[in-house]
């Protein structure tokens, strides 16, 4: 019998839905019963992670742990969390439960290493960038992390918060496109979509740059971990 995936969601709701959809998309299935059973807690009471890390905002850990424990009690065999910034608290969360938890950052680093990537451009929230949770992990795999300059980082934050999170798709993207160009000139081989809102944005807009989607990497690894079958075209990409 296949095991059950538990998703600590709500950070934000669209990112949670995106992860669930990708779990479905990568699973080889001919009928409902071939898919993975998934428990989702879209806990929108979890405080903003960037505010907590950088500006002494409300601590998100208690609410995250409520979701983790609820999912564990309801039968989840594995936990995953579609929020890059919240991985700042990964060790605290994973050590507070008795079931395994996958790190989307670690799985992304492993995938980049298999691709022989040496320089990766990171697009993420201020909290993710300044906490260095990606760069610290990438160093273990000899991958250099390239981040935007201050103006470029502001453009990334606007796309995340004033774009995807606000449901506002009618935005001037000139500044964001310039940020991508600048980072390519600094030898970024591809871009890490290091905020779970960004895969949603990149599906909506055509930015024309190579990317790696940590949400997709997490989905594939989670399905593989619980014994699901991966579609043939994605087998070479699993953890």
Domain spanning 105-214, CATH architecture: 3-Layer(aba) Sandwich (3.40)
Token look-up 């839905």 returns: 17
Given a contact cutoff of 8 angstroms between Cβ atoms, the answer to whether 74 and 197 are in contact is: no
φ, ψ for residue 75 (rounded to 5)? Answer: 115, 5
Contacts of the segment 29-32: beta carbons below 8 A, 24+ positions apart: 29/229
Q: So what's the pLDDT on residue 67? A: 98
Distances (CA, A) of 28 to 64, 193, 233: 31, 25, 10
Q: With 90 as the cut, is the pLDDT of residue 239 above it?
A: no
Residue-wise pLDDT for 179-211, tens only, equals 999 999 999 999 999 998 899 899 999 999 999
Report, as residue numbers or ranges, the catalytic residues. 83, 195
Taking the domains of the chain in order of start, what are their residue ranges?
A: 5-103+215-234, 105-214
- The radius of gyration computed from the CA coordinates of the chain, to the nearest angstrom, equals 17
Intrachain domains 5-103+215-234 and 105-214 with the same fold: yes
Q: Which two tokens stand for residue 165?
A: 């999170």
> From CA 68, how far away is CA 90, in angstroms rounded?
12
Q: So what's the pLDDT on residue 169? A: 87
Query: Strands (DSSP E) along 15-159, which ranges?
Result: 38-42, 78-80, 119-123, 144-146
* Per CATH, domain 5-103+215-234 is 3.30.70.260: no
Residue-wise pLDDT for 109-146, tens only, equals 999 999 999 999 999 999 999 999 999 999 999 999 99
Count Cα neighbours of 147 within 13 Å in the Cβ-side half-sphere: 20
């Amino acid at each position: 019998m296949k095991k059950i995936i538990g998703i600590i969601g709500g950070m934000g709701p669209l990112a949670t839905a995106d992860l669930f959809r990708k779990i479905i998309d990568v699973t080889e299935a001919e009928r409902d019963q071939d898919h993975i059973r998934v428990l989702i807690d879209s806990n929108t009471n979890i405080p903003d992670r960037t505010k907590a890390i950088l500006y002494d905002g409300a601590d998100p850990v208690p609410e995250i742990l409520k979701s983790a424990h609820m999912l564990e009690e309801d039968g989840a065999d594995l936990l995953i969390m579609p929020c890059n910034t919240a991985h700042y608290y990964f060790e605290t969360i994973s050590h507070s439960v008795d079931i395994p938890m996958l790190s989307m950052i670690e799985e992304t680093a492993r995938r980049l290493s298999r691709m022989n990537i040496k320089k990766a451009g990171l697009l993420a929230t201020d909290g993710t960038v300044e906490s260095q949770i990606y760069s610290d992990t990438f160093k273990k795999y000899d991958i250099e992390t390239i981040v935007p300059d201050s103006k470029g980082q502001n453009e990334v934050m606007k796309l995340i918060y004033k774009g995807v999170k606000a449901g506002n798709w009618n935005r001037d993207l000139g500044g964001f496109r310039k940020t991508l160009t600048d980072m390519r000139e600094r030898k970024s081989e591809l871009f890490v979509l290091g905020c779970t809102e960004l895969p949603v944005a990149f599906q909506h807009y055509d930015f024309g740059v190579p990317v790696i989607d940590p949400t997709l990497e997490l989905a594939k690894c989670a399905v593989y971990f619980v014994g699901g079958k991966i579609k043939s075209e994605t087998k070479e990409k699993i953890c």
